[in-house]
Amino acid sequence: MEWVIGLIGAVTALIGVPAAYFTAKMTASAQKETTEVEARGPEWQAFLEQVRKENDRATERMEEHFGGQIKSLADKVEKLEAWKQRMSTKYNLSIAVIARWHRKYPHDELVKSTPQEIREDLPAYWPRDEPNV
């Protein structure tokens, strides 16, 4: 039985020594990489600051060059949206007047010559809307 304990000790030594060697080697390698990264930290910090400064300068140049154009276009869009709203209101009111005309004078020549683009927007004709003539 003593020989089994000796055999277990020998196997443990054979496995433990290479494992300890590889562990020490990996630890040393990791420490070396950590030292290199820490040493390059200030370099990266300086690089990032240069990139940020260049981005700020590029933003300023773009603002100087395009800022007036962007404001001008924004003003134009605002005016066009207001104009579109006014025209939409006028168009809807006009369609309502044309629809009343159609109901009141269904056989009039103007009613028959209404453009197709406008007819598509007119409400459907219902018999109850027929004028009392």
Higher pLDDT, 8 or 47: 47
Counted residue by residue, the chain has a size of: 133
**Distance between CA atoms of 129 and 123, rounded to whole angstroms?**
11
The answer, as to whether pTM is greater than 0.75, is: no
Determine the pLDDT at residue 106: 82
Q: Is the pLDDT of residue 37 over 90?
A: no
How confident is the model over 62-79, as pLDDT tens digits? 888 888 888 899 999 999
Q: Does position 127 have pLDDT exceeding 50, yes or no? A: no
CA–CA–CA angle 92, 95, 100 (5° rounding): 130
Q: Which of 93, 90, 97, 89 is nearest to 114 (CA)?
A: 97
Domain boundaries, the chain: 2-129
Cα–Cα distance, 13 to 99 (Å, whole number): 103
Angle at 26 between CA 43 and CA 24, to 5 degrees: 125
